[in-house]
Chain A
């Protein structure tokens, strides 16, 4: 039954319908979690003894950075699936993810800058983590640019997928950069395997925001993917039937 579900899901028409039904629920859940996370993070969580109130940028900065890496892996993975098995939906998911990932990367960089200025005294430093995150932004933009440069959408998807896959080497560099190099950027605090070195009252809103951002990503991904599917299949019967009633 599960395989039948995935088989049906890969049909653009079925996906369009199902995604349309899920979006409001995912969006609603995202909104609730975001509000809860913001309340916990901005109002309930205590003041940091070292950084004062400026640390609250963490509730945007860190989830955004996590998303920038996560979305890239999804994009590369979906791209690989689309490349190997020629599944249209995989191609759609890959290219729909790119602008969202780029936005989160940009957000991580900018909020990091706004956090770094009062803390380190500099808007930007060329340390390993910031540099590799900036590279990640360029990789995203490259994938988007390449996709838009090729006329045929299926060829474009395959070219973009190759680029995305080649760029995967950057991901471990970003993640481990703070361990491999002596950087100005904070070391790993949450993903260490022993107890994280952050106060639990500050950790909870962080995790809530992380989940909220994931729900946001899926919501917007489904919205963009529906548009992409509609554009690709605009001459098909089911798509034409959508507008006949209007």
Chain B
């Protein structure tokens, strides 16, 4: 099978490749989301800890007024 035949998928190219494309987007997305989430969480925790150590009101771990 040549490359162009492969990509054409017997005329069903749109259906087959859209399916695989959506699958790729969904599965990649599900993979990346927790990675970013974990980084955000650790950054948040680290910020909070630095503020607590600096002696700001709203002590160890508890959020201050204007914090997310």
Considering the complex, give the chain A residue whose CB is closest to the CB of B42.
Answer: A243
**A-B CB contacts (within 8 Å), total count:** 91
Chain A residues positioned under 8 Å from B23 (CB to CB): 60, 64, 107, 111
Query: Is there a chain B Cβ closer than 8 Å to A115's Cβ?
Result: yes
Q: Are A220 and B30 in contact, with the CB atoms below 8 A? A: yes
Q: Are A227 and B15 in contact, with the CB atoms below 8 A? A: no
Contact of A111 among B9, B19, B35, B60 (CB under 8 A): B19
Q: Are B26 and A240 in contact, with the CB atoms below 8 A? A: no
Per-residue 0/1 for A99-119: is the Cβ within 8 Å of any B Cβ (1 yes, 0 no)?
110010011001100110110
Q: Are B45 and A57 in contact, with the CB atoms below 8 A? A: no
* Interface contacts beyond A110-B22, A115-B19, A243-B42: sample of 12 additional A-B pairs, CB < 8 Å, sorted by A: A42-B6, A52-B11, A53-B10, A53-B12, A100-B30, A107-B23, A111-B22, A230-B42, A234-B61, A240-B45, A246-B42, A246-B46
Chain B residues positioned under 8 Å from A235 (CB to CB): 60-61
Contacting B at CB under 8 A, from A227-246, are: 227, 230-231, 234-235, 239-240, 242-244, 246
Query: Is there a chain A Cβ closer than 8 Å to B31's Cβ?
Result: yes
Contacting B at CB under 8 A, from A154-195, are: none
Chain B contact residues, CB within 8 Å of chain A = 1, 6, 9-12, 15-16, 18-20, 22-23, 26-27, 29-31, 33-35, 37-38, 41-42, 45-46, 49, 60-61
Considering the complex, give the chain A residue whose CB is closest to the CB of B44.
Answer: A234
Q: How far is the CB of A124 from chain B (nearest CB, A)?
A: 14
Q: Are A118 and B46 in contact, with the CB atoms below 8 A? A: no
Complexed CA–CA distance, A230 and B40 (Å)? 11
Q: Are A226 and B34 in contact, with the CB atoms below 8 A? A: yes
Q: Are A103 and B26 in contact, with the CB atoms below 8 A? A: yes
Q: Are B15 and A118 in contact, with the CB atoms below 8 A? A: yes
Query: Is there a chain B Cβ closer than 8 Å to A216's Cβ?
Result: yes
> Which 10 pairs from chain A and chain B are nearest by CB?
A53-B10, A223-B34, A54-B12, A53-B9, A243-B46, A235-B61, A52-B10, A111-B19, A114-B15, A243-B45
Q: How far is the CB of B6 from chain A (nearest CB, A)?
A: 7
Chain B residues positioned under 8 Å from A43 (CB to CB): 1, 6
Query: Is there a chain B Cβ closer than 8 Å to A224's Cβ?
Result: yes
Chain B residues positioned under 8 Å from A220 (CB to CB): 30-31, 34
Query: Is there a chain B Cβ closer than 8 Å to A56's Cβ?
Result: yes
Q: Are B45 and A239 in contact, with the CB atoms below 8 A? A: yes
Q: Are B20 and A60 in contact, with the CB atoms below 8 A? A: yes
Contacting B at CB under 8 A, from A34-89, are: 42-43, 47, 52-54, 56-57, 60-61, 64
Considering the complex, give the chain B residue whose CB is closest to the CB of A225.
Answer: B34
Which among B9, B29, B34 has the highest number of chain A CB atoms within 10 Å?
Answer: B34
- What are 8 A-B residue pairs whose CB atoms fall within 8 Å in the complex? A54-B12, A114-B16, A114-B19, A115-B15, A219-B31, A243-B42, A243-B49, A244-B49
